[in-house]
Structure 1
Amino acid sequence: MDAIRTSDLTKTYGAKRAVDNVSLHVGAGEIYGFVGRNGAGKSTVMKMLAGLVLPTAGEIEVLGERQAPGSTSRRLGALIENPGVHPGLSGLDNVMVRALALGVPQARVASMDALEIVGLAPVAKKLVKTYSLGMKQRLGLALALVGSPDLLLLDEPFNGLDPQAVREVRTTIVNLARARSLTVFVSSHVLDQLERMVTRYGVIRDGHLVREMSAAEVDAECADYLSIRAATPQLALAKLQEAFPTARFSVMEDDAIRAEGEVSAEDAGRALSEAGIPVTELFVHERDIEELFVGLMGADLAMLGCDSAAWPQATNANRPRGFAGKGGGQDA
């Protein structure tokens, strides 16, 4: 069963489509990273899932139940944008208000448990107006945890946190997901933190869901490989397969040959040169998660030295170990 399923979810504000026919699939028990630029529609999608914004069109299912417009599941906890806390109350009182509204048994005990999980038990009785931004963010997470939800929506949960607090919150989220079989839907600009915790990703761009992929698929796309461009790609491919039988070769959409495994740029260039096959380009393509997602999100790839028309195929953005020239040869 999917924990979240949307079908053609749409939200318009006047003539602007903030969210345009988004169909999400979030499996139960997943930690799903929702990635996009500012204004791409991330928060709007999450607000519709939480029942805070009415969809213009489309359907939402949460934990197997279809949600009426403007409604939400009691099994869902959410921290979206700024935590809704009262500065004149203590941290404990803020969480208890939420617990009492949900009808949680032993509200005080449940509230203290939630504060303990996020590391705020020592300051539970202090007024929230004395909390730092990071402490308020953790208090918002405690509010979302009250009632032992099966699904958490977390919008930028690392905002305002120092590195130690980021690590603690990340570890808390991962441990909760594992211990309680909790599904977590989290948006964040901190890609290196998402990489440490997420099992699946969704990328939104200008209101459109452009791609969903597993963490394993992301790792595969970010792996280094040797890119070879020759005058006769099919002949070059056959020669390389013959010369390096244990390596893996494939021809990409732009006719460049992708090589993975036990083959170096120098050896590949020499093999093709000896076969009389002109090599026009040869380099080790290096791609990290930031480059992958920046491209999918539609940022200005010129800033990265990339040609947006060629995305997401191999680019020449990084060539620290590569070669580009005629007829093979040594690293440039």
Structure 2
Amino acid sequence: MLKIKKISKQFKGNDFYSLQDVSMEINKGEIVGLIGKNGAGKSTLMKMMAKSLKPTSGVITYNGVDINSQDNILIDFGIMIDPVFYPEMSVVDNLKFYLKLHGKEELYPNIESTLKLVELWNARNRKPKGFSFGMKQRTALAIAMVAEPDFLILDEPFVGLDPIGVQKLIDILKKWSSERQISMLISSHQLGELEALCSRYVYIEGGKLADSFEGSEHPSVVVHLDSTKNMEILNPLLSDTINLTDNLLDISTGTTSEDLNKIFGVLGEQELIFKIEVKENHLKEIFNKGA
């Protein structure tokens, strides 16, 4: 659906590239997480996808068309990178104006449900100029979502939402992905929320694509085994969801109850358990490598 081929960006006056030779694809209905430390180039990439920056070299195509070759090619995009709205206009009027500007007045009924989703319905008649940073983020998120876009680009969409609001947003984005086949690129430092949502990740480091990997549907727990005891008894119980490396037993939460009862039965009977812990998610591991 969207292809990025060897995109680079060098800002005027700099002798270095803020982004260099990045290539990736996002397919229809796919939710991709964009991760990286501050200054890695994530926002630069998203802004070039949104046409607010032009690449120094490379090309971005949407449905096979270079996005910089014609106007209004991103008409079906919902974009939240920097909070953008009219601060002197009420929240509800901002959404009405956005829909009218895009010729989608028939979607006015979406306004109430969208503002309730981002927890701004009670503030709908207030002007965003006096909002906190989190409320401004949520206003921008509502604008990005209200027009039922085919593609979403979201930077830090969970900021300002309470845990219930975060879960509601994750649920609706998953539903949009599965039922309406909306594609999404989402950047966030809230790694747990990304892991609950994304099917794939790209990791940007120093302006370059450092890694790309599939997400895991199920987190794991790790059982530290007593290294003084014989662990070979566990070999017949190992599977795709139960793995043994040295004295660490990795058990996916997607393991069937039958297999869980078997493995923990043997572990308890043989007194093999030294301690148990929740496995660090892969996203956190990546961040910690360079820390």
TM-score by shorter chain over 0.5: yes
How far 1:77 moved relative to its partner? Answer: 0.8
Q: Quick check: 1:85–1:94 contact (8 Å CA) kept in 2?
A: yes
**Aligned ranges 1:132-281 → 2 under 5 Å:** 132-216=132-216, 224=222, 244-247=235-238
Q: Distance in 1 between matches of 2:135 and 2:249?
A: 48
Q: Distance in 2 between matches of 1:295 and 1:117?
A: 31
How far 1:285 moved relative to its partner? Answer: 9.4
Q: Quick check: 1:36–1:297 contact (8 Å CA) kept in 2?
A: yes
Q: Distance in 1 between matches of 2:247 and 2:63?
A: 44
* Aligned AA (1:244): N
Greater C-alpha radius of gyration: 1
Q: Distance in 2 between matches of 1:157 and 1:134?
A: 10
Task: Indicate the SS of the match to 2:138.
Answer: helix
Q: Quick check: 1:95–1:111 contact (8 Å CA) kept in 2?
A: yes
What residue number does 1:11 align with?
Answer: 9
- Go from structure 1 to structure 2 and tell me whether the alpha carbon gap of 1:225 and 1:51 turns closer, same or farther (over 3 Å shift): farther
* Aligned AA (2:41): G
User: Higher mean Cα deviation, 165-174 or 20-29?
Assistant: 165-174
Q: Distance in 2 between matches of 1:42 and 1:87?
A: 26
User: Higher mean Cα deviation, 41-50 or 109-118?
Assistant: 109-118
* Aligned AA (2:175): N
Q: Distance in 2 between matches of 1:41 and 1:148?
A: 28
What residue number does 2:280 align with?
Answer: 288
* Aligned AA (1:7): K
How far 1:224 moved relative to its partner? Answer: 3.4
Q: Distance in 2 between matches of 1:4 and 1:260?
A: 36
Identity %: 27
Name which structure has the greater RCO, CA cutoff 8 Å, separation 6+.
2
What residue number does 1:236 align with?
Answer: none
Q: Distance in 2 between matches of 1:70 and 1:18?
A: 25
Unaligned runs of 5+ in 1: 230-238, 270-281, 302-332
Q: How many residues align?
A: 270
Q: Quick check: 1:31–1:183 contact (8 Å CA) kept in 2?
A: yes
| TM-score normalised by L of structure 1 | 0.67
Q: Quick check: 2:221–2:250 contact (8 Å CA) kept in 1?
A: no
How far 1:64 moved relative to its partner? Answer: 4.2
Q: Deviations over 1:88-110 (max 9, x none)?
A: 11011111222222122336445
Root-mean-square deviation over aligned CA pairs: 3.6
What residue number does 2:127 align with?
Answer: 127
Q: Deviations over 1:190-240 (max 9, x none)?
A: 111112111211111111212222223x858x66377999xxxxxxxxx98
How far 1:245 moved relative to its partner? Answer: 4.1
